[in-house]
Structure 1
Amino acid sequence: MKQLINVPERVVTDALRGMAAAHPELSVDVERRVVVRRDAPVAGKVALVSGGGSGHEPLHGGFVGPGMLDAACPGEVFTSPVPDQMARAAAAVDSGEGVLFVVKNYTGDVLNFDMAAELAEDEGVRVAKVLVQDDVAVTDSTFTAGRRGTGGTLFVEKIAGAAAAEGAPLERVERVARRVAEACRSFGVALTACTTPAKGGPTFDLPPGELELGIGIHGEPGRERRPMMTSGEIADATVDALLADDPPNGPVLALVNGMGGTPLLELYGFNAEVQRALGERGVAVPRTLVGNYVTSLDMAGCSVTLCQVDEELLRWWDAPVATPALRWGR
């Protein structure tokens, strides 16, 4: 496979060097692998810190900035960052109001963020944590005990980030983040496997005429393999899986997310089918986000995340945000 890299061992370092050059509004510690908004710590504000394995860009570094995260910690490709990274990030962004860790439910992330919280608290930083586990495809997987954390992470980081920007205290920001996490459901579909830089080839075998339903963002195979389907058929299968798990009793935010290798032309066409499928099932969608936000390297495919909202959560979703990957209202 052809890739725009120098050597696999430095792919994350090189990406951070490029990010630093493109975004002077961020402070990027390339060697220690911590991305921080340059104006941190922000006086009087609870700070949000997240992170995870690289390969899911723009998650998480692309969501650092006003209205969202205060810092992000990238690990190696599909590998959790280490506790020292998160503890260093917490110390860099804490204004004295406390820090919320947003953690995707993968075993390495959970363990390392737990250790990071202990290190930070030893240094006098108050830490709260919220776990995102929104993937309805599987109960347990290769990397998790319980459901995987996927696209719902974006909704948690944005809405909790807006609450923090308004000056809500740590306990309130934690409750908001937990409420959003519990309201999110995601389901992903792969048309191709992804290619890790270290391996240089597909992470699993997927014949040209087949697709995988219920995949994870680390290249994990899904729960079911089927012959290739049309965009409308994929949308129906995805929406049915989401609604079967937890039918919403109110309006939802929708994220129609590319896995990294699917062009916007296809994603917008797929979104049309998702909107049709939701409308036919009586689900109102006041806001929709379409694009590559929570990816799996070069995987072709998509995921859909639904987050049930009320007027308060919708207001925080609409609140201004200024990050490399998400920006509106400023």
Structure 2
Amino acid sequence: MLINVPETVVADGLRGLAAAHPGLNVDVERRVVVRGDAPVAGKVGLVSGGGSGHEPLHGGFVGVGMLSAACPGEVFTSPVPDQMARAAAAVDSGAGVLFVVKNYTGDVLNFDMAQELAEDEGVRVARVLVDDDVAVRDSLYTAGRRGTGATLFVEKAAGAAAEEGAPLERVEAVARRVGERSRSFGVALGAVTTPAKGTPTFDLPSGELELGIGIHGEPGRERRPMMTSREIADFTVEAVLNDLRPSGPVLALVNGMGATPLLELYGFSAEVHRVLAERGVPVARTLVGNYVTSLDMAGCSVTLCEADEEILRLWDAPVETPALRWGR
């Protein structure tokens, strides 16, 4: 592992983020990443966060056209309510703040408490829950579907709406609609190793894969002998389409879990496009890369969002963050 000691891995990463992106305000000690021009007058603030280890989610999506602030917790551990309330206060211009929350029990509870703290300080807060993973209904960390790749779609669309000056109710409605129209499915080709443990967190023998894995290494639907990229695409896309059932074009995120080479991800993306074409589902936009990761896990996930004209417009709107940028 490319670290000093496990105890400082998050702080070290935040110091590096600050050095590489001086336009961000990175509070290493209190664990809050804020866009440099916040609060922006008349603009809804957009705040998200979660355990570290999923980079570039969330700190890498702070900037123009996306998040106003992010709260990184310890590795695979929810940030605390004080962080979230501090972030809300830092980005509130009087137009209100939207919390984007992945459906993990710790995140949900802590964002709920943070909302109460922020509202006690006079900040108007709305909250949207992202629960897009169709692999399992309940898991070690959740009640209901897990929140995974659709978080990127929600943050991008809601961030664009906020950048346009939409009121809090409208930004919340956009975020909720994108989440409702999005579904994901992930596959592990290798186990994840956390800095504190130093060894794989679960046993995945060579020559096997886990279908439906979570981004913390949670179990999926089933374990099988290794499959080809074509076979994985068939299984994964079918699982998403069986739940989503889109009637029009989709946004597609072909996401790496942290250790899968980009060459392989692009090859897998070609197979995802093949399956969608065979099912008669047009693809409006595709994003390929490591965006919602799980440290050093080898694997991939597919997220599809049924897109309409407004969602496509918000997706195409300018964005400038450390990990996502176009149109500026």
TM-score range, shorter chain: over 0.9
**2:139 maps to which of 119, 122, 141:** 141
Q: Tell me the CA shift for residue 244 of structure 1.
A: 1.1
**TM-score, normalised with respect to structure 1:** 0.99
Residue number among 183, 196, 199 corresponding to 1:198 in the alignment: 196
1:185 is displaced (CA, Å) by: 0.2
- For 1:12, give the aligned amino acid: V
The one-letter code matched in structure 2 to 1:287 is R
Q: CA offset at residue 231 of structure 1? A: 0.3
Cross-structure match for 1:176? 174
Which of 37, 59, 62 is the equivalent residue of 2:57?
A: 59
Aligned to 1:245: 243
Q: Aligned match of 1:304 in 302, 305, 322?
A: 302
Q: Which residue, 101, 117, 132 being the options, matches 2:99?
A: 101
Unpaired runs of at least 5, structure 1: none
1:83 aligns with 2:116: no
Q: What CA deviation, in whole Å up to 9, does each residue of 1:245-295 have, x standing for no partner? A: 121011100000000000100000000000000000000101000000000
Identity score, percent: 85
The number of residues matched between the two structures is 328
Structure 2 partner of 1:113: 111
The separation in 1 between residues aligned to 2:54 and 2:196, in whole angstroms, is 16
Task: Give SS of 2:283's match.
Answer: coil
Q: Compute the displacement of 1:53 (Å).
A: 0.1
Residue number in structure 2 paired with 1:327? 325
Q: Does structure 1 conserve the Cα–Cα contact (< 8 Å) formed by 2:14 and 2:26?
A: yes
Partner secondary structure for residue 286 of structure 1 = strand
- Separation in structure 2 between the aligned mates of residue 323 and residue 288 of structure 1, nearest angstrom: 18
Aligned equivalent of 1:131: 129
The CA RMSD over aligned residues, in Å, is: 0.4
Alpha-carbon distance in 2 for matches of 1:299, 1:206:
11
Check conservation: 2:181, 2:244, Cα contact below 8 A: no
Describe the SS at the equivalent of 1:316: helix
Within 2, Cα distance between the matches of 1:78 and 1:89? 20
1:45 to 43, 46, 66: 43
Instruction: Give the C-alpha shift of residue 219 in structure 1.
Output: 1.1
Q: Which deviations, in whole Å up to 9, do the C-alpha atoms of 1:154-206 show, x marking residues without a partner?
A: 00000010000000000000000000010010000000010000000111100
SS at match of 1:103: strand
Instruction: Give, in angstroms, the shift of residue 222 of structure 1.
Output: 1.4
After TM superposition, the structure 1 stretch with the greater mean CA deviation from structure 2, 266-275 or 215-224, is: 215-224
Which runs of structure 2 are paired with 1:197-236 in the superposition (5 Å)? 197-236=195-234
Q: Deviation digits for residues 142-163 of structure 1, max 9, x if unmatched?
A: 0000000000000000001000
Judge conservation of contact 2:182–2:244 (CA < 8 Å) in 1: no
Moved over 4 A (4+): none
| C-alpha separation in 2, matches of 1:227 and 1:216 | 19
Query: Per-residue displacement from partner, 1:219-254 (whole Å, max 9, x unpaired)?
Result: 112111011010000000001101111210111000
Q: Provide the C-alpha distance between the structure 2 equivalents of 1:172 and 1:245, rounded to a whole number of angstroms.
A: 26
TM-score, length of structure 2 as denominator length: 1.00
**Unmatched runs of 5 consecutive residues or more in structure 2:** none
- CA deviation profile, 1:8-62 (whole Å, cap 9, x unmatched): 0110011001111110010000000000001000011001000000000000000
Secondary structure of 2:57's match?
coil
